[in-house]
Amino acid sequence: MTEATLSIDNLAIPVETAGPSRRARLTMERDGSLTLRAAADVSPDELRAFVASRRRWIYRKLAEKEALSYTPVTKELTNGEGFAYLGRSSRLLIADSDRVKLQHGRLLLPLSQRDQGHDAIIAWYRERGRAWLPKRVRDWATRLRVEIVDLDVRDLGHKWGSADPQGRVAIHWATMQLRPPLIDYVLAHELAHLREPHHGPAFWHLVARVQPDYEDRKAELAEHGATLWVGALETTARSWPG
């Protein structure tokens, strides 16, 4: 495969070389950009035919993305600013404290860490994720019959989460703002990829088996996830999969 991009209906789609599987995979980011991944031995003609077969899906997704367009969320480091955790918003209070923590419905930011600002709060989300997520991940791993060897919570750029074939799982710290059922959808989705790497019928059948209402969760995540705070604006121009 020699093409760097593939064009259809005036849409330029970057083509990336993927693993050994011949199955092509088309994904759309939250900003509406498209990426096509396929093995190196898939011919350009095969790719064009594949993308053409997905034309209806492409335009449906573009319409959804336009409907869910949003202004990136910013957070001010002032008393009273809201920060979500597990679906509930708490007001920021900058005060004498030994660390960033939730206390009596307030998110305390120590005066001593005010200069760190957003980074201190992001570090708190990562810490809470590393404490809260492991049991949840183990539960879903058991249901999906997969093995997990490591879990990390960090900035994943455009992704909610990732799971590699060796069983290493990573979750974006911003997911800790979501309601637990939506976090569970992210976990089930990522862990299911350990058994089914592609978003084909077998993958969705597997997700549906362990999470029958996944379509409702997926739709809510696509809508609500677009409104999450993902860090300081100047360093976080993000577009996550829907």
Same domain, 128 and 206: yes
For 34, the domain range is 5-67
Same domain, 122 and 231: yes
| pLDDT higher than threshold 70 for residue 33 | yes
Same domain, 137 and 229: yes
Tokens, residue 111? 């005066």
The mean per-residue pLDDT over the stretch 114-136 comes to: 94
| pLDDT higher than threshold 90 for residue 224 | no
Domain presence at residue 131: yes
Which of 50, 67, 84 lies at the terminal end of a domain, its last residue?
A: 67
pLDDT at 32: 67
Q: pLDDT-based confidence at 36, cuts 50/70/90?
A: confident
Same domain, 182 and 123: yes
User: pTM score, two decimals?
Assistant: 0.70
Domain presence at residue 187: yes
Question: Considering its fold, how many domains does the chain have in total?
Answer: 2
Domain presence at residue 76: no
Domain presence at residue 78: no
pLDDT at 70: 53
Picking from 153, 109, 102, 161, the residue whose alpha carbon sits closest to that of residue 129 is 153
Same domain, 43 and 149: no
Domain presence at residue 172: yes
pLDDT at 174: 95
Same domain, 121 and 231: yes
| pLDDT higher than threshold 80 for residue 196 | yes
In terms of average pLDDT, the best of 4-13, 45-54, 91-100 is 91-100
pLDDT at 2: 41
| pLDDT higher than threshold 80 for residue 228 | yes
Taking the C-alpha atoms of residue 142 and residue 146, their distance in angstroms, rounded to an integer, is: 7
The mean per-residue pLDDT over the stretch 93-119 comes to: 92
Supply the CATH number for residue 220's domain: 3.30.2010.10
Per-residue model confidence as pLDDT tens digits over 130-157: 999 999 999 999 999 999 999 999 998 7
| pLDDT higher than threshold 70 for residue 237 | no
Same domain, 231 and 129: yes
Alpha-helical segments (H) within the chain: 44-53, 55-67, 118-144, 180-192, 201-210, 214-224
Q: Tell which wins on pLDDT, 6 or 218.
A: 218
Same domain, 130 and 225: yes
Beta bridge partners of 28: 34
Torsion over CA of 126, 128, 130 and 133, rounded to 10 degrees?
Answer: -120
